Structure 1
Amino acid sequence: MVIEKMKMSVNQTNWAKKCLSPWLLLLAMLVTLVPLQAMAAQAEATVSKNVVAVNQVFQLSVSVDTAINPDSVDFSVLSPDFAYGQPSVSSSTSLINGTMSRSTTWTIAVAAKNVGTATIPAFKIGSSQTTPITITVLKNSQKNNSADTDQANVRITAEVDKNSVYVGESINYRVKIFIGEQLSQASLSAPSGEGFAVSQVGQDAQNNIVQNGRRYLVITRNYQLTAEKAGKLIIHGATFNGSAVRGANGFSSGITVPVNKDARNITLNIKPKPKDYKGLWLPTPDLQLHQTWQPQVSNQNDVTTKVGEPITRTVTLRIKDIAQSNMPNINLTYPDTVRIYNEKPEYSAENGYSVMTLKQVIIPRQAGKVALPPLTINWWNTATAKQQQSKIDGLTLNVVADPTANSQFSPPAVTATPPTTAAINPIKTVTSAGMWPWATLVFAILWLITLTLLLKKRQQTILAPAIITTGKADVVSALEMAINDNDPIKVQTYYQQWRQQQHLMLSTQPQLLQQLDDEVKAMMAAHYSPLDNPWNNQTLLALLTQAKQLTVIKHTSTALSSLDPK
């Protein structure tokens, strides 16, 4: 019995070992893995500084001792109190004494938004999280002279060319931006002030300079400020806004920090218009008035020209320190004996001057003495504080009729072909019979054949395209070419010549003549109108073709009449 009990105890013990061994092995494995899981769950957050200034960039690092998805950390929890950039993620693996370890680290640039105490919250990574970090945020002037650092990174200056001007006078306001760091979304707002009209002049200029060993990009912009009322006026400086990219390095893309800079305010003394000033108010230190004539003239008091021959007058007005909107309108009154066509004034800016160029085409309409008017402009010299006058002379024209109107440009005479001998010598009548009747019949047949050939040749000559020749110039062809080229001066010149040449024919067609005159005037008005009015040259070409057809019919009728045997 004892032996059997002992066997039974041994069997029970073996059975227990067999049953417990797997559980003991699993328990041992779990005990072994617990430290590894505990180490993998450890996460940590650190900062490069815990006392910073507003908008001062510092580095935040978050690490975990395992390989993990790079998107496992949510940095949006920083938004309420911090600005931050894009994080950079790095992973590492090491093997020390046969033990392998892995880690993942996030590095991000951060800047506090407000003065006071800010807390970087805990970041949850898997089943663990980091410890919150308290940051002390000071004003710029309280931490490492950060204001001076910002001032050195971006600076803005402004200056004017004069501090005392008259009402209506303009000054140049120049602003410069010195940029010593990477910026994005930069913009510059114009200066402002009550009683000023402001406009930008030209394009921005850029250059690089080095100051105290540091390189800056300098952007220069010019504004024109025009005083609109008298008194002490304040120019509020131009404003620069942008975002500086700071804290960028090989491990982080950096963070954008707002940068706002204002140029200094400037006070100006605006003087009123003098009470005794006469004329249009033009305050300027310099006004220049010039003119040119084409063709050029040597004697202003005695210039000979022809009816219908155009003269071009170009007036140029240059005024310093005045806005284009304040440039005067030039109005010249011409006599009725000339036709005037004004081109649209052209404006430009040159070295502080506003420049206006006005071109006028003058076409005499009848013979005689014609006085073209002078031009006088009153202005106030701000340098001498005195009223001045600038003047350009007029021109006296001695207009004569075109001596070639009835000869050189007259229709070509119809040249008859010399008649045959049969047409000159009368046919004698013979009363006696014989061979003469037959000879006469043959001679008459030959005469009829000759006359038929002559008429056919004459019709081919006259019905050919009607070209008005002058020996030196083809007026109709030149007129058509000028119309196709939309050259109003040449059209006016050739049309007047052709009109005088075709006077007799056109006098029988008053309606057509009026249509031609009206269309030429419409062309000139469209070309020299201050408005952009397009002109279609097809109407004038059609009218000219109609007139040419009348010329062909008239010449054909005349030629056939001259060949009538009666």
Structure 2
Amino acid sequence: MSVNKNNWAKKCLSPWLLLLTMLVALLPLQAMAAQAEAEAEAEAEAEATVSKNVVAVNQVFQLSVSVDTAINPDSVDFSVLSPNFAYGQPSVSSSTSLINGTMSRNTTWTIAVAAKNVGTATIPAFKIGSSQTTPITIKVLKGSQKNNSTAADQANVRVTAEIDKNALYVGESINYRVKILIGEQLSQASLSAPSGDGLTVSQVGQDAQNNIVQNGRRYLVITRNYQITAEKAGKVIIHGSRFNGSAIRGANGFSSGITIPVKENARNISLNIKPKPTDYKGLWLPTPDLQLQQTWQPQVSNQNDVTTKVGEPITRTITLRIKDVAQSNMPNINLIYPDTVRIYNEKPEYRTENGYSVMTLKQVIIPRQVGKVALPPLTINWWNTTAAKQQRSEIAGLTINVIADPTANNQFSPPATITPPAATATTNPVKTITTAGIWPWATLVFAILWIITLILLLKKRQQQIIAPTPITTGNVDVVSALENAVNSNDPIKVQTYYQQWRQQQYSILNTQPQLLQQLDDEVKAMMAAHYSPLDSQWNHQTLLTLLTQAKQLKVIKQTSIALTNLDPK
């Protein structure tokens, strides 16, 4: 039994003994390899070379560092270049050759480098193991001393600028267009606006991009427009836009390249700013073109023969287009209307269109009294910078004949002034009139419905059913259009459709003067909320509720007419 145990122990220990023997045998070999590598590093020769030793500032050249042995790729510290050179990420290559039975190895680092300053710069020695490279002296020249290759690099980024004209008046604007031609890979690019003493500069629109080919080379072109406005007379210099970015240069299959700062300026441009003429009258508006137009709604065919009713709105839209004038210099249009009309001004709308600043002003005019009403004209004086003379643009006014609306009350007329009676010795008791409210009408509705039910039961018993005949008023489209206009919060349409509906339904609405007055007041509240200069809100649900009540009046009247047509037999 003991013999078997010994055999089993020998079988289990055999693999472990074999592994331990192999490890012991490898230790001398590893030590020998380490010693051989150390000896190889000690005996290795390191060398540094450059592709150019006379360069320009920011011109990229190649630096190669090699050692005739296989070595760790992280053995070279390139941070020693930082004070005087910019550099990229190095690429490492290793090679092994066997010639006449002799084996040789080589490791090479290749990196893109560019000098930062003019003068003499030194690439320091690199220590590899126990050996080191020899320092290299580089001569760095100014940009004007670059060779043809460097001049081609300079053409990789170009900035150009142009303006419409060099002579303009105080308050006039010109367009400044700057283009950037980019022929290489860039990062972190930016463009500053032009500047000048007494000039106001603002960017117009978004940048535009396109590609062009010049002398067989493709460029990306970025175009940006600025509006420059002169604020004072005299000679002024426009300092060109400045471009700043970083170019990635020197990248190839062996190196990742290097980031080089790029700075280019557009040319400076001289301006001659003329003063305002001393004999000019009115608001100063220098421009080569000014256009003043207006439209009326409803359309007007004869300026002196327009008839409308009290309360019917007229919409006047005035459009002013001025070339080469900043939006901030557009004039304010202020027209004085007679007291016999109510005016609602919408906020002016501004836009830029083909070099013109365009302002659109919409006014809603509602006559309040019967009679002739003269709506004022508008005249604008401006200075024609092309012809160098003062000009005048004008739009005509409008004379309207306002007639009474027989179906309307005096909700658009100004309230009458009540003069209190003279005080007397006797004080009369005050009489308070209380309005019954809606309950009498609700009672009437329930009574009418009860009568209809009773009559129908009697007719059913007699087997004679007589259906009431509905009345068609033909105004369903007007009611729908009015409700749609209220829901869409369109005050002009609401005012127009309401007047039509009010005229058609006046015979019914006149039976409820309180409801009619509430409808008129709510329409006025809507117009005031929409066109008031104050920021006020209007709830359209109130007007919709009143319209629903008014439609119920129509149903009640139809039902009462139908009851009179019933045959009591």
Return the TM-score normalized by structure 1: 0.76
Q: 291, 297, 302: which is aligned to 1:294? A: 297
The amino acid across from 2:338 in the alignment is: P
Q: Using the TM superposition, name which of 69-78 and 282-291 deviates more.
A: 69-78
Tell me the distance in 1 between the aligned counterparts of 2:456 and 2:542: 48
Q: 344, 349, 374: which is aligned to 2:347? A: 344
Instruction: Tell me what 2:121 maps to.
Output: 118
1:151-550 paired onto structure 2 within 5 Å: 151-402=154-405, 449-450=458-459, 470-500=473-503, 515-528=518-531, 535-548=538-551
Closer, same or farther: CA 113–533 of 1 in aligned 2, 3 Å? farther
Tell me the distance in 1 between the aligned counterparts of 2:462 and 2:43: 122
Instruction: Tell me what 2:439 maps to.
Output: none
Q: Is the 8 A contact 2:475 2:501 kept in 1?
A: no
Q: Is the 8 A contact 1:40 1:64 kept in 2?
A: no
Tell me the distance in 2 between the aligned counterparts of 1:448 and 1:203: 78
The amino acid across from 2:222 in the alignment is: I
Instruction: Tell me what 2:10 maps to.
Output: none
Instruction: Tell me what 1:433 maps to.
Output: none
Closer, same or farther: CA 86–548 of 1 in aligned 2, 3 Å? same
1:229 deviation in Å?
A: 1.1
Closer, same or farther: CA 216–529 of 1 in aligned 2, 3 Å? farther
Tell me the distance in 1 between the aligned counterparts of 2:215 and 2:169: 41
Q: 78, 102, 120: which is aligned to 1:75? A: 78
Tell me the distance in 1 between the aligned counterparts of 2:38 and 2:338: 111
Q: Using the TM superposition, name which of 315-324 and 208-217 deviates more.
A: 208-217
Residue ranges of structure 1 left out of the alignment (5+ in a row): 1-24, 407-444, 463-467
Closer, same or farther: CA 321–77 of 1 in aligned 2, 3 Å? same
Closer, same or farther: CA 244–532 of 1 in aligned 2, 3 Å? farther
Task: Let me know the Cα RMSD of the aligned residues.
Answer: 3.8
Indicate the SS of the match to 1:370. Answer: strand
Tell me the distance in 2 between the aligned counterparts of 1:141 and 1:398: 80
Tell me the distance in 1 between the aligned counterparts of 2:462 and 2:261: 99
Pairs aligned (count):
494
Indicate the SS of the match to 2:522. Answer: helix
Indicate the SS of the match to 1:273. Answer: coil
Larger radius of gyration: 1
The amino acid across from 1:50 in the alignment is: N
The amino acid across from 2:498 in the alignment is: Y
Q: Is the 8 A contact 1:332 1:373 kept in 2?
A: yes
Q: Residues 229-275 of structure 1, C-alpha deviation per residue, up to 9 Å, x if partnerless? A: 11222211111111222212121121121111122222222121122
1:99 deviation in Å?
A: 4.0
The amino acid across from 2:316 in the alignment is: R
1:221 deviation in Å?
A: 1.8
1:313 deviation in Å?
A: 2.2
Instruction: Tell me what 1:137 maps to.
Output: 140
1:284 deviation in Å?
A: 0.8
Q: 99, 103, 106: which is aligned to 2:106? A: 103
The amino acid across from 1:103 in the alignment is: N
Instruction: Tell me what 1:55 maps to.
Output: 58
Tell me the distance in 2 between the aligned counterparts of 1:446 and 1:155: 97
Closer, same or farther: CA 105–398 of 1 in aligned 2, 3 Å? same
Return the TM-score normalized by structure 2: 0.76
Q: Residues 194-222 of structure 1, C-alpha deviation per residue, up to 9 Å, x if partnerless? A: 21110112222333334344333332222
Indicate the SS of the match to 1:304. Answer: strand
Aligned-residue identity in percent: 83
Tell me the distance in 1 between the aligned counterparts of 2:456 and 2:264: 107
Q: Is the 8 A contact 1:469 1:475 kept in 2?
A: no
Closer, same or farther: CA 550–168 of 1 in aligned 2, 3 Å? same
Q: Residues 59-98 of structure 1, C-alpha deviation per residue, up to 9 Å, x if partnerless? A: 0112233444433333222111111112222233333344
